[in-house]
Chains A and B, each alone.
Chain A
Amino acid sequence: MSFIHLHVHSQYSFLDGASTIDDLLQKAKLLEMPAIALTDHNRLTGAIRFYEKAKALDIKPIIGLELSLEGGYHLTLLCKNKQGYSNLCRLITEAHLSNRGKAPLASKEMLAKYNEGLIALSGCSKGELPFLLNNGKIDDTKAASDFYRAVYGYDFFIELIRYPQKEYMANSYQLIEFAREKGLPVVATNNVHYADMDRYKIKELLNAIDQNISVSQLNDFRTVEQYLKSAKEMNELFSDIPEAVSMTAEIAGRCNFEPELGKLHFPGFDVPEGEPESYYLSKIALKGIQKRYEILSPQVMERLQYELATIEKLGFCGYFLVVWDIVRWAKARNIRCQARGSAVDSLVVYALEISTIDPVKHNLLFERFMHELRREPPDIDLDIDRRRRDEVRNYVYDRYGSENVSCIGTINTYMARGAIRGVGKALEIPKDTVEEACAGIHWLSAAQLLQKMDARPELKNSDIYHRPEMEDFFKMCASIDSFPKHLSVHLGGLLIGDEKLSGMVPLEYSSGGDIISQYDKDDIEKLGIVKMDLLALPTLTVIEDTITNIRKNRDIDIDLDNIDRNDPQAFAMLREGKAIGTFQLESPAQREMAGRLLPDRYEDIIISISLVRPGPLKSNMDKDYLPRRHGKKAVTYLHPKLKNALDETLGVILYQEQVLKVAHDLAGMSYAEADGFRRAMTHDRSGEEMEKMRESFISSAAKNGVSRKISEKVFEQLAAFAAYGFCKAHATAYAELAYQTLWLKCHYPAEFFAAILSNQPMGYYPPRVLLAEAKRSGVKILPLDINRSLRDYSVEGDAIRIGFMQLKGISSEAIESILIERDKSKFNSFRDFILRVGINRNAAENLIKTGACSAFGTADRLLSEIPKLFNLKHKYLKGSLPMFADINIFDVTTPEISKGSRGADMFIERKLLSLDISAHPLDFFNISSDVTHMKDLKDKGTGKIVSIAGSVIRYQTPPTRNGKRVMYIIMEDGTGIADITVFGDIQERYGNILFREGWLLVKGKIQRRGPKALSIIAQELSALTTG
């Protein structure tokens, strides 16, 4: 008799399911099961991918879940139809949202409210009926069963679970007896938690991690039987009650819910009466375009009409209006807000002032963003000033109704370090051992850990990964690879529904209190619900703050829309590699590219941003382009028809938009077809499919008069490029911000660095590196001062003063108190400061140690006064001492100059401010005199052997063409920064040092890949030691 599993947990039962959906379905396929249900705990997170994967294997998917009820009971629910799915979404949403900060629990009222379309099984041993019955509460059991029967009618079943162990079997017999007495149907399940029996260990491991205890402390009922058993095993197990097995097929037959994947759901936009959305959109776009262009050319108008017609045809007018409305609202409140990504390809987006980039001027193609052959929801991502992003988000909630809007959930999964820490704790591995095991691991999944142990030098050369007693431990870590840990908020993603979201998507609270979808963004897209990314971009905050600083400091209003886009000073700075702090241009790879490209015009920034990507670098696009750029290689085209598409990049394909143009110009494809062609080539295709595409391209080109030989070559180039090229629209949107930050840094360094230091964390470098760069840019750094510092970094002429927020141990309330009191009158003594300000002793001490109070005496003296002053303050606050009664307690003394040792000052600065102001820690290491300062590296020629010493800022291992790992280390020594390249042989030799040492001495050879591009090829590495 066939058997169908109706109670199955996957990895989306979050630390309770020990097999993936893939593994469960593969096993079901192997067992020739015609259908299978997914019933994870309190979440539908895996439902959509489960549905798709099961369909692909020709297995009927049944969507459901195991719900937690008030009283701690469980109930298994399955969707019969669309209404059942909607009710399940509403039910689980209400169970979560009505228990904020606690575990989700559904009430009986909720069950009754959302009962239609659902089948209920009485649940596992934690089900209300089994539990009550097992505890001899017969009357309560009867009452409960009457309730479920009343709510679910003939769709309520007594669930029988048998693990061949006495107590379970006994409970099953009791339930059968009860069902017979009450005339209720029974159904057999196996409460599956893993595909195969041996995964029971993983389930226990996950349970221990979940409960934050060791596996030996687990108190749960232990069994090995919760695996996906065959129909034969289940039939044998229930041989005394075959109807329980046959009922599984009957129930599966009742469950016929098919999610409507691909159907788009758009929120409507409230347009003026009598004006359809398309009319209203055209109206505002026309109005907008007139503002954008002084003279409207026929080309611009034609394009605008074409885009509007396409948007209308696709039914996306409402979506564009929604985005327009959000941006309009933000801009009216001076919130910096603009589009990024392929949306920038659209003239309508530009006309609506959603983007600042003119797509006509920059040669951008609308079809890269949208066309009528591509039936996917449009995606306009917005970058918003980080500080004010939540204001915009709140507006969306207010405008569209909080029940129609939610954040998007993202599934956090186990990577190697998380797995090591989690498994380590569960298996009671000593903490030191766990941390040692984590130390050498960077950018690895838990599964890769085993694969790379004998390949990566930092793992291979370390004893911990090769101790025999650790072998099983690392295998355990690998076995939970990619398992979900928890749901969190997807950065920036917002869902806007056309109806109450909870009927379409299950929702819950994130740990931070946001309402999030249980589905991730991929599943949301499949469900066709409009997703909008409102991304918090700190660069926009920095730009805004810099402009405010300039206004305050110099009384100048900067209009960034009208600055010189080809400013020679800004580009000279970029060519010199002085881009630290700028958006997108500050990474070592970008700084090196600037030294090779020698940018001198705005378009160079777009090129640089597009080139310095793993794909283009892997496919050597830089090596094609740069010689042409510097006149060292002739600019040629395989065919004259390619000139139009490739002229802007000297005959080399750099942008995705160019693929469309090439396919259009050479093979006569429409741009929409050309985008389909590009997308098809981007995905993995079989040889046969590629051959078909090649032949189609060649024959179309032949009709256009292009020879087979040429079109074959062009096709090869396009095929090689398609996977790697960058979207020009995105690069252009980023280039605009990159240039603005470059220009501001160049002309107003103090204002710029004050802004960027005030907005940490952001960017590539820690504050101490930014501060050193500010000094190198001629900005004077002023210390903390209780009478001068503000909360953030502030500008004083050409100097910046450190703000209170940089100090460790000081609260926002204390800062606020300082600023309020100082507004009344400046502090005239340390005593005055302590008595007036609400600050704790630790913060007061830190202020003294960092020199913030040095105007009132030496650090030693002020520190010695602290106990007396706080005692006094305490008495004042209690009211036992009148104010100023102590006036003679302290001697009035002349301020002394604080005398600390240089080393001590440096130590305090690092510890309390995370900055190097008075000295650099490197001064206290043993460094030989032949070590080159990083500022002097620029004078060294190619091939010169140098030694440098400094602290490691960060490591990078970008993908390489040949797959071999190349490591880039950024170091700094207080005079500058250096980029070190570490190849495989050196990684091999110094595996023990890599990732483990913060201070390095590097001996290596200077390499110059361009006139201004410099890096050091490491030959020897050693750890620095203090003197």
Chain B
Amino acid sequence: MAKLIGEPVKVHQKQVDEDTSITAFIWRKRLYRVNEVINWWREPADWWAGNTLRFFVQVDATNSSTCTYELYKMGKSWFLSRVLD
């Protein structure tokens, strides 16, 4: 079961230049600690409409409970794409 979100998040990374080095992210003012980066991939954008490539990271993260979160980076901004149970 997945819930579509599509909201901006703030991401903490171990290394600024490596997008898979996420340690935590803040969503709706709450901190989510990343336990594990499960997967990553890049998705082509509708470049003809002016959109740029999106970089996706699927993480296992904990706030009060642990869930799988799908984040993506477009340009320099990060967004939470989906929450997977």
Contact = CB atoms under 8 A, between A and B. Distances in A.
Given A164-B39, A166-B39, A222 B48 contact: no
Nearest to B47: A201
B40 interface: yes
B44 A164 contact: no
Contacts of B44: 200-201, 204, 222-224
A225 B41 CA distance: 9
Contacts of A204: 44, 47
Interface residues of A, number: 16
Interface string A157-182: 00000011110010000000000000
Contact count band on B: 10 to 19
A216 B39 contact: no
Interface in A705-731: none
Contacts of A164: 39-42
Contacts of A169: 39
Nearest to A163: B41
Interface in B34-52: 39-44, 46-49
Nearest to A473: B48
Contacts, number: 30
Contacts of B43: 165, 222, 224
Nearest to A214: B48
B48 A216 contact: yes
A165 B41 contact: yes
A215 interface: yes
Interface in A178-203: 197, 200-201
A427 interface: yes
Nearest to A476: B48
Nearest to A427: B48
Interface string A201-228: 1001000000000011000001111000
Nearest to A216: B48
Contact of B42 (A166, A215, A225): A225
A239 to B, nearest CB: 14
Contacts of A223: 44
Contacts of B42: 164, 197, 224-225
Q: Please indicate which of the listed interface residues B41, B46, B48, B49 has the most CB atoms of chain A within 10 Å of its own CB.
A: B48
Nearest to A223: B44
A903 to B, nearest CB: 49
A197 B43 CA distance: 11
B53 interface: yes
Interface in A915-972: none
Interface string B20-43: 000000000000000000011111
A215 B48 contact: yes
Contacts of B53: 224
Interface string B34-75: 000001111110111100010000000000000000000000
B38 to A, nearest CB: 10
A216 B47 CA distance: 10
Contacts of B40: 164
A689 B41 CA distance: 53
B73 to A, nearest CB: 14
- B contacts with A: majority SS: mixed
A59 to B, nearest CB: 27
A425 to B, nearest CB: 12
B74 to A, nearest CB: 13
Nearest to B48: A215
B39 to A, nearest CB: 7
Nearest to A426: B48
A169 B41 CA distance: 11
B46 A216 contact: yes
A216 B46 CA distance: 8
A200 B52 CA distance: 12
Contacts of B47: 201, 204
A216 B50 CA distance: 12
Interface in A115-163: 163
Contacts of A197: 42
Nearest to A164: B41
Contacts of A163: 41
Contacts of B39: 164, 166, 169
B18 to A, nearest CB: 12
A131 to B, nearest CB: 22
Interface string A425-438: 00100000000000
Contacts of A166: 39, 41
Interface string A546-563: 000000000000000000
A164 B43 CA distance: 10
Nearest to B46: A216
Contacts of B46: 216
A165 B42 CA distance: 8
A427 B46 CA distance: 11
A427 B47 CA distance: 10
B19 to A, nearest CB: 12
A164 B56 CA distance: 10
A339 B59 CA distance: 74
A427 B50 CA distance: 12
Contacts of A200: 44
A572 B47 CA distance: 65
Interface string A663-691: 00000000000000000000000000000
Interface string A225-236: 100000000000
A193 to B, nearest CB: 12
Contacts of A165: 41, 43
B55 to A, nearest CB: 10
B78 to A, nearest CB: 18
Contacts of A201: 44, 47
Contacts of A427: 48
B33 to A, nearest CB: 24
A628 B42 CA distance: 72
Q: Please indicate which of the listed interface residues A164, A200, A224 has the most CB atoms of chain B within 10 Å of its own CB.
A: A224
Contacts of A225: 41-42
B57 to A, nearest CB: 11
Nearest to A205: B48
A950 B37 CA distance: 74
A724 B84 CA distance: 72
B56 to A, nearest CB: 9
A164 B38 CA distance: 11
A229 to B, nearest CB: 12
A7 B53 CA distance: 25
B51 to A, nearest CB: 11
Nearest to B53: A224
A200 B54 CA distance: 13
A821 B44 CA distance: 67
Contacts of A222: 43-44
A925 B53 CA distance: 57
Contacts of B48: 215-216, 427
A323 to B, nearest CB: 54
A477 to B, nearest CB: 14
A204 B53 CA distance: 14
A467 to B, nearest CB: 16
A591 B46 CA distance: 56
Contacts of B49: 216
A164 B37 CA distance: 13
Interface string A470-494: 0000000000000000000000000
A222 B39 CA distance: 18
A163 B41 CA distance: 8
A480 to B, nearest CB: 15
A215 B48 CA distance: 8
Nearest to A166: B39
14 contacts: A163-B41, A164-B39, A164-B40, A164-B42, A166-B39, A166-B41, A197-B42, A201-B44, A201-B47, A204-B44, A204-B47, A216-B48, A222-B43, A427-B48
Given A204-B44, A224-B44, A225-B42, 12 more contacts: A163-B41, A164-B39, A164-B42, A165-B43, A166-B41, A197-B42, A204-B47, A216-B46, A216-B48, A222-B43, A222-B44, A224-B53
**Closest 6 A-B residue pairs measured CB to CB?**
A164-B41, A222-B44, A165-B41, A224-B42, A201-B47, A224-B44
